[in-house]
């Protein structure tokens, strides 16, 4: 199961890199989204996919059964997803602003901060 | 968006979402749930409402600036962490007040702060995106 | 003990909340300054405790290491926290003069304080994943600060800054996740033992390289620095001053922490790469600066070349070299922030940052010219200023190792730095203003004048003081380097004596 998830993560990352090599900001952002999803999957796989009960105490403090799921990778993932969501939303808003002020999303043609020497 | 089904449904669903988000928030300590996921569900309710009725109406229904909700949430979360100083414990240590069957804690206060922070932040972002598109 | 460590992080966030609630009013601006003063007091307290007791550690929420989140301060961390607080106060005061009511209403001061909180958190955390979270906090705040001016140029700079930093972020996350998968821990002190004991050293080196690329991108080393000169000259001057002082240094700090504490198993490989990276960083940075004609762009490229010196000290990995790197880090933050603040005043007086369009400041604003000389010569490494000692120690350390090429490059870059500083001096200060204007400090309104000049004078005095009385600071840096190279005290403070 881990192998399968790891392969899927690798596939996502390769797709992401292909998208990110594009000069279009929108495609780059989609690539970035895929990349962070690929990494999140990799973390989940790195924490081992153990089927089992949630690691929470039962009523009146009863211990959970012996096979518990590893909670830490999930906590890390949750944090990473939240942060990724916030950053992505910002990047999206920035992209809209950029489209408004430049009229296009080709990164190579955004030269207002670093004008070319001959212009 | 001009969909009769959506605009009628959203009115009921938003209330339901908010109620369910509070349920998830409060069950969070000993079962799956908590402030974060609760805040997301609550925000989803208002996002749905803004899709159906427009951002302006959603802002009016919310009454408060979502940014202020988020900042107050952060303030509550930080203050709940500071409370353990009064007991001479490490920062963010949980303090418990047991009243018969009811267990109240600074952990819950922290979770409420997280709920508000997530709720406010998500709505700030989504409203801003909807308004610019 | 935990509270001494937690307060420098908590105070900026409380201040951010206050500043946001009072945003747009004069009270909000003043809350930011007041918060910065309190932060400074907390940082001084932390340094005093660290000087008294050595490495101190605390656990958040009372959860024991390595399970909970640990906060640790050794000499390096404590000094970085103090410098952050000093820069925070200086720029908060300076902002009063530059940041108008519009940016203030958008929450400039709240973002600024949460940036400081994020930076402080990154310096104090003892947990790799927590470091990731602090990186994100400061990244999100910096995104906000970058676009808050709202000009077209700033949007363009922000696009490049945001995209490249997001890639670094994802790489950092991947490295941390894989490290957890391989060792089962994320506590940095615990990782030291776990990484050394790992049966798969090749994998450890791979993860080390992932983190090196991620931190390297944050620190703007060759060949990952392109986002920096594309964005640092676009926002408000106060914003670029605090970015220039603190943001890349968080990357350098993370490199220093991780490559002295955790990944020391294959120094011949990892630190050799760091060595070449640092040499190329120094050279490309300083050559890039020589080609520029904008005040802030020149300074931005110099950040890159100076980062090279710090990474060089880390790469050589001798006690003297690491001491040099620590000293360089501390001195550089003060000098660089000050130069950007001076660039801001010069822009305010002359109305442009293009060096060919301004001039005459030496005649009309001699105080500013004198204050420019101090950090500029310190950056280039003139005695008796702080930069001289920083460069001297690093060059000496490379000569001790017989690395003639390294020492040669370090000296050459120092020379080229003088060239750039002379260029700014000649164009902005020495030559007459092309339109014959006489921009004087007296043109500023009185309140803006002291708000802008007091921080600059204070930072310049610090530069001179470090240069004139270097022994105390060098001793401090030596102690910091000892703790970095022999982290037994660090590990013991975090995990307790038993697991030493």
- Write down the mean pLDDT value for chain C: 88
Subunits that touch chain A (at least 3 Cβ pairs < 8 angstroms)?
B, C
> Do the chains contact at A87 and C169, CB–CB below 8 Å?
yes
- Note the pLDDT of residue A98: 86
* Predicted-complex ipTM score: 0.90
- Note the pLDDT of residue C81: 94
- Note the pLDDT of residue A7: 92
Q: Establish if A96 touches chain B: CB-CB under 8 angstroms.
A: yes
Q: Establish if C207 touches chain A: CB-CB under 8 angstroms.
A: no
Residue from the list B75, B82, B91 with its beta carbon closest to the beta carbon of C17: B75
- Note the pLDDT of residue C211: 93
Over residues C103-107, mean pLDDT: 83
3-state secondary structure A22-86: CCEHHHHHHHHHHHHHHHHHHHHHHCCCCCCECCCCCHHHCCCCCCECCHHHHHHHHHHHHHHHH
d(CA C415, CA C407): 13
For residue A12, is it within any domain? yes
- Note the pLDDT of residue C499: 45
**Interface residue of C162, C166, C190 to substitute, partner A, most A CBs within 10 Å:** C166
Residue from the list B32, B36, B133 with its beta carbon closest to the beta carbon of A54: B32
Over residues B8-12, mean pLDDT: 87
- Residue C119: name the closest of C109, C107, C131 by CA: C131
Task: Name the strand (E) or helix (H) holding C161.
Answer: helix C152-183
Three-class DSSP category at C125:
strand
Subunits that touch chain C (at least 3 Cβ pairs < 8 angstroms)?
A, B
Q: In the numeric block, which tokens belong to residue B120?
A: 């406010």
- Note the pLDDT of residue C172: 93
- Note the pLDDT of residue C497: 53
B45-104 pLDDT per residue, tens: 999 998 888 888 888 888 888 888 988 998 998 888 888 888 777 888 777 777 777 777
> Do the chains contact at B30 and A93, CB–CB below 8 Å?
no
Q: How many CB pairs under 8 A join A and B?
A: 23
Q: Which of C92-96, C211-215, C434-438 has the lowest mean pLDDT?
A: C434-438
For residues C395 and C410, is the Cβ–Cβ distance under 8 A?
yes
- Note the pLDDT of residue B62: 86
pLDDT band of residue C213 (cuts 50, 70, 90) is very high
Question: What is the Cα C329 distance to its own chain's centre?
Answer: 7
Among C residues 55-74, those touching chain B with beta carbons less than 8 Å apart: 58-62
For residue A34, is it within any domain? yes
- Write down the mean pLDDT value for chain A: 83
Q: In the numeric block, which tokens belong to residue B104?
A: 């109240």
User: Among B65-69, C37-41, C143-147, C481-485, which range has the highest average pLDDT?
Assistant: C37-41
- Residue C391: name the closest of C369, C370, C358, C413 by CA: C413
Contacts A78 to B, Cβ<8 Å: 36
Over residues A69-95, mean pLDDT: 84
**Residues with Cβ < 8 Å from C481, sequence gap 6 or more?**
C319, C320, C322, C323, C325, C326
Q: Which pairs from C484-489 meet CB under 8 Å and 24+ separation?
A: C484/C74, C484/C76, C484/C256, C484/C257, C484/C260, C484/C261, C484/C322, C484/C326, C485/C260, C485/C317, C485/C319, C485/C322, C487/C189, C487/C192, C487/C260, C487/C261, C489/C54, C489/C55, C489/C74
d(CA C273, CA C271): 5
Three-class DSSP category at C361:
helix
Over residues A69-86, mean pLDDT: 83
**Residues with Cβ < 8 Å from A7, sequence gap 6 or more?**
none
For residues C108 and C148, is the Cβ–Cβ distance under 8 A?
yes
Q: How many CB pairs under 8 A join A and C?
A: 99
Q: In the numeric block, which tokens belong to residue C80?
A: 């970085």
C379-388 pLDDT per residue, tens: 888 888 888 8
Cα pseudo-dihedral B46, B50, B51, B55, rounded to 10: -150
Phi and psi, residue C191, nearest 5°:
-65, -30
User: Quick one: closest CA in C to B117, which residue?
Assistant: C17
Q: In the numeric block, which tokens belong to residue C420?
A: 């750039």
Q: Please tell me the total count of domains within chain A.
A: 1
For residues C45 and C81, is the Cβ–Cβ distance under 8 A?
no
How many other CB atoms are found less than 10 A from the CB of residue C402? 8
User: Quick one: closest CA in A to B31, which residue?
Assistant: A56
pLDDT band of residue B1 (cuts 50, 70, 90) is low
User: Quick one: closest CA in C to B85, which residue?
Assistant: C3
- Note the pLDDT of residue C500: 42
Q: Which of A88-102, B64-78, C432-446, C466-480 has the lowest mean pLDDT?
A: C432-446
Q: Which residues pair with C73 in a beta bridge?
A: C56
Q: In the numeric block, which tokens belong to residue C452?
A: 């802008």
Q: Is residue C493 scored above 60 in pLDDT?
A: yes
Q: Establish if C14 touches chain B: CB-CB under 8 angstroms.
A: yes
Cα pseudo-dihedral B57, B62, B65, B69, rounded to 10: -150
pLDDT band of residue C67 (cuts 50, 70, 90) is confident
Q: Is residue B20 scored above 70 in pLDDT?
A: yes
Task: Give the distance from residue A2's alpha carbon to the nearest chain C alpha carbon, in angstroms.
Answer: 12
Contacts A107 to C, Cβ<8 Å: 159-160
User: Quick one: closest CA in A to B37, which residue?
Assistant: A78
Contacts C153 to A, Cβ<8 Å: 112-113
> Do the chains contact at C10 and B81, CB–CB below 8 Å?
yes
Over residues A41-45, mean pLDDT: 88
Please give the share of chain C, as a percent, with pLDDT higher than 90: 41
- Note the pLDDT of residue C498: 47
Q: What CA–CA distances, in Å, run from C127 to B57, C65, C312, C446?
A: 44, 10, 25, 47
Over residues B19-43, mean pLDDT: 86
Per the document, the length of chain A is 119
pLDDT band of residue C284 (cuts 50, 70, 90) is very high
Contacts C23 to B, Cβ<8 Å: none
Over residues C279-289, mean pLDDT: 91
Three-class DSSP category at C127:
strand
For residue A111, is it within any domain? no
Q: Is residue C85 scored above 90 in pLDDT?
A: yes
- Note the pLDDT of residue C336: 92
CATH number for the domain spanning A27: value is: 1.10.287.3510
Over residues C305-327, mean pLDDT: 92
For residues B101 and B89, is the Cβ–Cβ distance under 8 A?
no
> Do the chains contact at B133 and A96, CB–CB below 8 Å?
yes
For residue A56, is it within any domain? no
How many other CB atoms are found less than 10 A from the CB of residue B22? 15
Over residues C407-436, mean pLDDT: 87
Over residues C351-375, mean pLDDT: 85
The range of the structural domain enclosing residue A38 comes to 2-50+69-105
Residue from the list A72, A91, A112 with its beta carbon closest to the beta carbon of C166: A91
- Note the pLDDT of residue A117: 59
Q: Is residue C409 scored above 70 in pLDDT?
A: yes
For residue A88, is it within any domain? yes
- Note the pLDDT of residue C150: 65
Q: Is residue A58 scored above 80 in pLDDT?
A: no
Cα end-to-end distance, chain B, whole Å: 13
């Amino acid at each position: 199961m881990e192998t399968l998830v790891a392969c899927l993560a690798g596939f996502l990352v390769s797709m992401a890199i292909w998208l990110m090599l594009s000069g279009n900001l929108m495609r780059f952002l989609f690539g970035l989204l895929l990349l962070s999803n690929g990494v999140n999957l990799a973390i989940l796989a790195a924490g081992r996919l153990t089927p089992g009960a949630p690691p929470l105490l039962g009523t009146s403090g009863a211990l959970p059964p012996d096979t518990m799921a590893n909670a830490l990778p999930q906590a890390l993932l949750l944090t990473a997803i939240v942060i990724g969501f916030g950053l992505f939303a910002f990047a999206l808003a920035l992209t809209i602003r950029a489209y408004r002020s430049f009229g296009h999303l080709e990164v190579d043609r955004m030269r207002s901060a670093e004008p070319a020497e001959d212009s | 968006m001009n969909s009769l089904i959506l605009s009628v449904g959203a009115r009921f669903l938003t209330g339901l979402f908010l109620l369910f988000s509070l349920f998830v928030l409060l069950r969070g300590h000993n079962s799956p749930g908590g402030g974060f996921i609760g805040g997301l569900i609550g925000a989803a309710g208002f996002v749905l409402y803004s899709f159906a009725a427009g951002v302006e109406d959603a802002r009016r229904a919310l009454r408060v600036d979502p940014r202020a909700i988020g900042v107050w949430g952060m303030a509550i979360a930080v203050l709940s962490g500071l409370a353990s100083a009064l007991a001479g414990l490490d920062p963010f240590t949980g303090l418990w007040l047991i009243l018969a069957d009811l267990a109240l804690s600074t952990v819950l206060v922290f979770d409420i702060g997280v709920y508000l922070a997530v709720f406010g932040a998500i709505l700030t972002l989504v409203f801003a995106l909807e308004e610019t598109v | 003990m935990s509270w001494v460590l937690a307060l420098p992080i908590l105070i900026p966030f409380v201040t951010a909340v206050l500043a946001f609630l009072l945003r747009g009013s004069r009270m909000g601006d003043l809350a930011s300054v007041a918060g910065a003063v309190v932060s400074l007091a907390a940082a001084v307290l932390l340094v005093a405790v660290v000087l008294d007791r050595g490495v101190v550690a605390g656990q958040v929420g009372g959860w024991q290491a390595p399970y909970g989140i640990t906060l640790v301060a050794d000499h390096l961390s404590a000094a970085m926290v103090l410098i952050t607080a000093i820069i925070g106060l200086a720029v908060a005061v300076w902002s009063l003069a530059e940041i108008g009511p519009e940016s203030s209403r958008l929450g400039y001061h709240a973002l600024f304080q949460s940036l400081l909180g994020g930076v402080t958190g990154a310096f104090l955390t003892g947990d790799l994943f927590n470091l990731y979270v602090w990186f994100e906090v400061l990244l999100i705040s910096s995104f906000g600060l970058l676009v808050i001016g709202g000009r077209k140029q700033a949007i363009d700079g922000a696009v490049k800054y945001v995209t490249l930093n997001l890639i670094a972020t994802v790489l950092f996350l991947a490295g941390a996740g894989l490290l957890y998968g391989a060792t089962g821990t994320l506590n940095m002190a615990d990782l030291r033992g776990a990484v050394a004991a790992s049966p798969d050293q090749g994998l450890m080196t791979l993860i080390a390289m992932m983190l090196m690329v991620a931190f390297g991108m944050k620190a703007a080393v060759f060949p990952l620095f392109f986002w920096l000169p594309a964005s640092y000259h676009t926002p408000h001057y106060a914003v670029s001053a605090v970015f220039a002082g603190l943001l890349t240094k968080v990357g350098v700090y993370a490199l220093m922490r991780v490559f002295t504490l955790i990944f020391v198993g294959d120094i011949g490989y990892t630190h050799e790469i760091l060595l070449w990276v640092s040499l190329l960083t120094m050279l490309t940075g300083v050559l890039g600066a020589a080609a520029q004609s904008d005040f802030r762009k020149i300074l931005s490229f110099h950040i890159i070349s100076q980062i090279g010196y710090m990474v060089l000290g880390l790469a050589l990995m001798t006690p003297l070299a690491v001491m040099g790197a620590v000293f360089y880090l501390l001195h550089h933050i003060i000098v660089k922030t000050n130069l950007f603040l001076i660039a801001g005043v010069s822009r305010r007086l002359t109305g442009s940052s293009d060096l060919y369009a301004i001039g005459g400041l030496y005649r009309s604003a001699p105080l500013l010219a004198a204050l420019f000389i101090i950090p500029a010569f310190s950056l280039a490494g003139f005695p008796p200023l702080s930069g001289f000692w920083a460069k001297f120690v690093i060059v000496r350390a490379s000569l001790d190792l017989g690395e003639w090429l390294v020492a040669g490059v370090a000296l050459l870059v120092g020379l080229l730095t003088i060239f750039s500083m002379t260029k700014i001096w000649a164009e902005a200060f020495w030559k007459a203003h092309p339109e014959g204007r006489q921009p004087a400090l007296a043109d500023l309104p009185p309140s803006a004048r002291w708000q802008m000049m007091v921080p600059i004078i204070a930072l310049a005095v610090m530069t001179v003081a470090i240069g004139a009385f270097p022994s105390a600071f060098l001793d401090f840096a030596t102690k910091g380097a000892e703790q970095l190279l022999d982290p037994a005290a660090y590990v013991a403070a975090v995990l307790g004596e038993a697991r030493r």
